[in-house]
Amino acid sequence: MGIRSFFSLFLLSVTIPYAMASDPSPLQDFCVAVNNLKSGFDKAGNTTNRIGSSVTAFNVDTLPGLNTLGISLVRIDYAPFGQNPPHTHPRATEVLVVQEGTLYVGFVSSNADGNRLFTKTLNTGDVFVFPEGLIHFQFNPTRSKAVAFAALSSQNPGVITIANSVFGSKPAIDPIVLSKAFQLDVNVVKNLQTKF
């Protein structure tokens, strides 16, 4: 075997694994979306609730055309001083763009990173990224409504609203446990549990 043949064989053995080292596409089939949605991105959500916001989700459950594509979308409407309270998406990174108004947004890094808070005030056209699994929020600090759209990197990103999960679990978490965890009086915890 000549030096050229050996070099060619070596080069081939080194480059083939790299050419095959990508993830396979999750696309197995596709589903054509139909015009039977009850709500669309053109319709504002009802923000007359205790948090002053409404999330309209378009995921694999509401838009079958997203099946196996690994994405979902949401429209978020905010009343004046409304918020999308602290929550997390366990299976997705979120990219948020403000269509109208102003939002104060932020996320908290993990325990290993010292629970550092990252915030920014966004105006129309501004974009912000919330990393997968991290607790984040949006708040409208103005007397005008706000609207944002977000894309999430999963067809089923999941959502865990922190206060609802902790204080509204069924059955309820023992108030003594939460009292110690949050360093609150047990009666304060019991009061919070009645609100959720």
Q: Are residues 195 and 145 in the same domain?
A: no
Residue 2 lies inside a defined structural domain of this protein? no
What is the per-residue pLDDT for 168? 95
pLDDT digits (tens, 9 = 90+) for 178-193: 999 999 999 999 999 9
Q: Are residues 95 and 191 in the same domain?
A: no
Q: Are residues 117 and 173 in the same domain?
A: no
Residue 148 lies inside a defined structural domain of this protein? yes
Q: Are residues 103 and 58 in the same domain?
A: yes
Query: Is the Cβ–Cβ distance between 168 and 178 less than 8 Å?
Result: no
Residue 66 lies inside a defined structural domain of this protein? yes
3-state DSSP assignment of residue 108: strand
Q: Are residues 108 and 177 in the same domain?
A: no
Percent of the chain with pLDDT over 90: 69
pLDDT digits (tens, 9 = 90+) for 94-151: 999 999 999 999 999 999 999 999 999 999 999 999 999 999 999 999 999 999 999 9
From the list 76, 77, 82, 53, the residue with the least C-alpha distance to 142 is 82
**Total domains present in the chain:** 2
Residue 19 lies inside a defined structural domain of this protein? no
3-state DSSP assignment of residue 184: coil
Residue 196: which domain range? 161-196
Q: Are residues 122 and 166 in the same domain?
A: no
What is the per-residue pLDDT for 84? 98
Query: Is the Cβ–Cβ distance between 89 and 59 less than 8 Å?
Result: no
Cα–Cα distance for residue pair 87/168, rounded to 1 Å = 14
Q: Are residues 81 and 147 in the same domain?
A: yes
Residue 111 lies inside a defined structural domain of this protein? yes
Band the pLDDT of 25: cuts 50, 70, 90: low
Q: Are residues 140 and 180 in the same domain?
A: no
Identity of the highest mean pLDDT range in 29-33, 69-73, 110-114, 130-134: 130-134
149 CB-near residues (< 8 Å, 6+ apart): 41, 73, 74, 75, 76, 96, 97, 99
| H helical segments located in the chain | 3-19, 162-167, 175-182, 186-195
User: Looking at residue 62, which CATH number applies to its domain?
Assistant: 2.60.120.10
Q: Count CB-CB contacts under 10 A for residue 12.
A: 9
Q: Are residues 172 and 89 in the same domain?
A: no
What is the per-residue pLDDT for 63? 78
Q: Are residues 173 and 188 in the same domain?
A: yes
Q: Are residues 72 and 148 in the same domain?
A: yes
pLDDT digits (tens, 9 = 90+) for 1-12: 566 666 666 555
What is the per-residue pLDDT for 28? 59
Residue 22 pLDDT more than 60?
no
Q: Treating both helix axes as pointing N-terminal to C-terminal, what angle do 175-182 and 186-195 enclose, rounded to 10 degrees? A: 110
What is the per-residue pLDDT for 62? 79
Q: Are residues 129 and 165 in the same domain?
A: no
